[in-house]
Chain A
Amino acid sequence: MKVNPRRSLVLALVTLSLLAAGVGPIAAHHSTVPFDSTKQTTLTGIVKEFDWTNPHTWIWINVPNDKGGVDLWGVEGMSPNYLGRRGWTKNTIKPGEKITIVGRPMKDGSKAAMFMSATLANGKVMTQSGQPTD
């Protein structure tokens, strides 16, 4: 395949600028406005449920609070269609398992976040990026 170096450079710059602008290829269904893209939150707890559903997957996780109880947090991820082509299955996140999730918190402080990564009980780190598998 012939590669035009100048064209490749332009393409790379365009891609970089799009990523910098936060306009990513992973985009669908709704805006990210409710989430604070400048912050990260870390949630460690016991998985209550994993919804392998459209339009988004949801991890429901009971996270210990400072009152000695637990709070139920919801973490929104990409759809099963999208993740299923990138190494995930409905069994990737298991109810009853202790996991740690990093996500973008809600601006309004409610107990939800947008998924960025999860460290499973076996130490495996799951993200949503990567090229699809054939």
Chain B
Amino acid sequence: MENARKKLSGFVAILAAAAVMQVAASAQKAPAPPTAADWSALAKLPDLTGVWEAALGGGGGARGAAAVPAAGARGAAPAAARGGTAAGPQLTPEYAAKRDALRGQAREDNETANCLPPGMPGIMNQPYPMEFLLTPGKVTIVIEAYTQVRHIYTDGRKLPEDPDEKFFGTSIGHWEGDTLVVETVGFSPLTQLAAGIPHSDSMKIVERFRLTDPDTMSIETTITDPKALTAPFTSSRTLKRHRNWTIAEYICEENNHNFVDESGKAGIKLDNAGTAPKK
């Protein structure tokens, strides 16, 4: 009997401890679940949903037939090379020196050849489609290239003051009229501001997404980086909506024969020629 009472009181103590922990956790204030009104409010926003791919200069393939190499160039080509603005990023002396040092290494390729995803902003410049999803408090971009996802919170939260460094950074968004404005901070040093140009820990990217006609979206991207840039670097591109398309899988490690080694030499692995995993 005495034993049973002890067991019972022990059980009660555990329950009490669990309750205290739950209160502590809820002090972080879980967001309220979306209401029917939240879902229907989405219908009043510009319809950015669906599958989009860069138009001219971004993978539409508007080029002559066999006269041009087709298998690919870099993963993080500058916006200027993809139908964006003609002017490149204006670098501070410190970052111009860093760029020149990188050039001096004469690396033949970057780590995307080894299947490392480019992260931001390069991932938004791939010759593959992206699907935009709007749900209450969030915009999600499903990116076919390298099978990537961006999470953009539109629930009113603030950007973190001391963000972790991520390939995609940390993103929040808000609507200014018909334009979705996305602010992103906190980028991994493994990403680049533009091809061959490193960024600092102060890089911030602001993207403005807006429909210019029912199936055309413009993205204006402005990069600021007080340590690396003497002026904001703005580029723009146009996406076309493909209502019949679905996002396909893209597992880069599936059958990758390309590589770049530590010295920066690029090549093709042929020791496993013709031995792809069978269907």
| Distance in Å: Cβ of A65 to nearest Cβ of chain B | 15
- Cβ–Cβ < 8 Å partners of A86 in chain B: 61
Chain A residues near B112 (CB-CB < 8 A): 28-30
- B:136-158 near A, CB below 8 Å: 144-145
Assess whether A51 is in contact with B255, with CB atoms less than 8 Å apart: yes
Q: Quick one: which of A23, A25, A79, A84 has the most chain B CB within 10 A?
A: A25
Check if B31 is an interface residue, CB within 8 A of chain A: no
**Interface residue range, chain B:** 35 or more
A25 & B57 in contact (Cβ 8 Å cutoff): yes
Question: Contact between B65 and A25 (Cβ–Cβ < 8 Å)?
Answer: no
Chain B contacts with A in 70-101, Cβ cutoff 8 A: 70-75, 77, 81-83, 86
Given contacts A114-B69, A114-B70, contact A76 B274 (CB under 8 A): no
| A24 close to B63 (CB less than 8 A) | yes
B82 and A84 contact, CB distance less than 8 A: no
Q: Per a CB cutoff under 8 Å, which of B82, B242, B256 touches A55?
A: B256
Inter-chain contacts of A79 with B (CB < 8 A): 128, 250
Q: B72 to A129, Cβ gap below 8 A?
A: no
Which residues of A sit under 8 angstroms from B73, Cβ to Cβ?
Answer: 22-24, 27-28, 31-32
Contact A23 B65 (CB under 8 A): no
| A30 x B266 contact (CB < 8 A) | yes
User: Could you tell me if B71 and A129 are in contact, using CB atoms closer than 8 angstroms?
Assistant: no
* Contact assessment for A26 and B127 in the assembled complex, using a CB-CB cutoff below 8 Å: yes
B66 at the binding interface (Cβ < 8 Å): yes
CB–CB A74/B66 < 8 A: no
**B56, B71, B126, B256 pick with most chain A CB within 10 angstroms:** B71
Q: Is A134's CB under 8 angstroms from B244's CB?
A: yes
Q: Does A41 contact B (CB under 8 A)?
A: no
Chain A residue nearest to B266 (CB atoms) is A33
B273 close to chain A: CB less than 8 A:
yes
Whether A74 lies near B59 (C-beta < 8 A) is no
B248 (CB) vs chain A CBs: closest residue = A81
Complex Cα gap A4–B33 (Å): 48
Give 26 CB contacts A-B under 8 Å.
A15-B62, A18-B81, A18-B83, A19-B64, A21-B81, A22-B69, A25-B56, A25-B59, A25-B63, A26-B63, A26-B72, A27-B77, A28-B73, A29-B75, A29-B258, A30-B74, A34-B266, A55-B256, A56-B72, A56-B256, A76-B257, A80-B248, A106-B268, A129-B63, A129-B66, A131-B61
- List residues of chain A with CB under 8 Å of any chain B CB: 11, 14-15, 18-19, 21-35, 37, 48-49, 51, 53-56, 58, 60, 72, 74, 76-82, 84-86, 102, 104, 106, 108, 110-112, 114-117, 127-132, 134
